[in-house]
Amino acid sequence: MDRRELLKMVALATGGAMIGGEFLLSGCKNEKSGVVAFKPDDIAFLDEVGETIIPTTSSPGAKAAGIGNFMKVMVTDCYTEPDQKAFIDGINQLNEACKKENGIGFMQATPQQRKALLEKIDAEAKAFQKEKNEKEAKLREEAAKERNKTIAMSPNHYFTMIKQLTLFGYFTSKPGATEALRYVAVPGHYDGCMPYKKGDKAWAT
């Protein structure tokens, strides 16, 4: 699975294009990114959120892929300053939502409580992104009628960003590519007709 195909998969799973995807593909740093500071507690928190999205089963989960540190790098290098702020604020919002729902913070919640909370927030994030995409599409259409007119892009939902980075980071990590997906090291050889039966893992390469 190459990066472009993975970006398409992530977009389908989250209801919107991969945020910062153009910088992921080019390997460049976003010149409009601001200065964002992640604390060690933030990384640990993101590891647990990622592990709830992709838990350890017969293959390692997102935590084993170091997903918290991956998110730190991608948010720092690929996100705009408004999205960076929304992401950092989202850590606190998610924790507060867990307290409101369960009476305890996310780090103290059970796996079942975490999963139920993220499913609820995921539905909210998809609705938010759909409305945002529709509004911005109309603004682009209006801007196209007026030469040199620019539009202000509103920040994305924090959970959409967390989920996208979890999926992308995991399936491009060594544990994700070699244990969750089927993997053949490059160069390997070309086989245009590989056997496949329902339930087999997808190919990483």
**Per-residue pLDDT at 60:** 92
**In the structure encoding, which two tokens stand for residue 199, read together?**
């339930």
Instruction: Give the C-alpha separation, 61 to 81, whole Å.
Output: 29
Phi-psi region of 84 (alpha: psi -120 to 50; beta: other; left: phi over 0): alpha
The pLDDT > 70 percentage for the chain reads: 76
Q: Tens digit of pLDDT for each residue in 118-172?
A: 999 999 999 999 999 899 888 888 877 776 666 667 899 999 999 999 999 998 8
pTM of the model: 0.78
Instruction: Give the C-alpha separation, 171 to 163, whole Å.
Output: 12
**In the structure encoding, which two tokens stand for residue 45, read together?**
């928190």
Q: Tens digit of pLDDT for each residue in 24-66?
A: 655 566 666 667 889 999 999 999 999 999 999 888 999 999 9
**In the structure encoding, which two tokens stand for residue 134, read together?**
């529709």
Sequence letter at residue 185: A
The mean predicted confidence, pLDDT, of the chain is 82
**In the structure encoding, which two tokens stand for residue 87, read together?**
């992401």
Give the closest residue to 75 by CA, choosing from 121, 17, 29.
Answer: 29
**Per-residue pLDDT at 150:** 65
Q: In sequence order, which ranges of the chain are alpha helices (DSSP H)?
A: 3-14, 21-26, 40-53, 67-78, 81-102, 111-145, 158-171, 174-175
71, exposed or middle or buried, with CB in 10 Å at 0-12, 13-18, 19+? buried
Judged against a pLDDT cut of 60, whether residue 189 lies above it is answered with no
Residue ranges covered by each domain of the chain: 3-180
Q: Phi, psi (5° rounding) for residue 90?
A: -65, -30
